[in-house]
Chain A
Amino acid sequence: MSNKTKVAIIAANGGLFDAYKVFNIASAAAASDAEVGIFFTFEGLNLIHKEAHKNLPLPEGKEHFQEGFQKANVPSIEELVEVATEMGVKMIACQMTMDVMSLDKDQFVEGIEVGGAATFIDYAKDANITLSF
């Protein structure tokens, strides 16, 4: 366990592009036997919100890329969340943001944890790779 690569990711944005950046890196890392943890904060909570993650917005003016996603046969975010969960990616939703936005744990996908900044810091303190999206 200790010689495993450890990856700590902060997801702080809630668009479709942001979701792909986060979940592609997370799934690729998990598939490469890394231990992966993601801290979802502010708009990043959209990426694991039961409803919102199924219909994330493209950046303004980039809506035409929708076609490109289909053409390239890119997996849906729903599918990537399932893959990440199945491969044991630890997902932590930020308690403070949830309080600000009046969100409850049951509004998020199965298997997430709720924690504060200190929870992430404790997880990330010995990470080999730390990323922020």
Chain B
Amino acid sequence: MKATKVLDAKGLACPMPIVRTKKAMDELSTGDVLEIHATDKGAKSDLTAWAKSGGHELLDMEEGDVLKFWIKKG
């Protein structure tokens, strides 16, 4: 999937993946896609919830040693 920006949040523990995602998203425009890489297992539910509460759209998620998320800015 084509992302506007890629955020490396690997190795970070809660709540930093969310904090960094928020900061990265603030720099994007509506409709842009942010790709996030994280190793915090909690990020799976946290980023899903974060996208929902912020009115963004979680387009896709890839599981593995590194979790990957694609979130479209709402």
Contacts and interface: CB of A to CB of B under 8 A. Distances in A.
Interface of A: 5, 24, 27-28, 31-33, 72-75, 80, 83, 87
Nearest to B49: A32
A28 B15 contact: yes
Contacts of A28: 14-15, 18-19, 46
A33 B18 contact: no
Q: Binding site of B, secondary structure by majority: helix, strand, loop or mixed?
A: helix
Interface residues of B, number: 15
Interface of B: 11-16, 18-19, 21-22, 46, 49-50, 53-54
Given A74-B14, A87-B19, 4 more contacts: A27-B15, A32-B54, A33-B54, A83-B16
Which one of A27, A28, A33 has the greatest number of beta carbons of chain B within 10 Å? Answer: A28
Contacts of A27: 15, 18-19
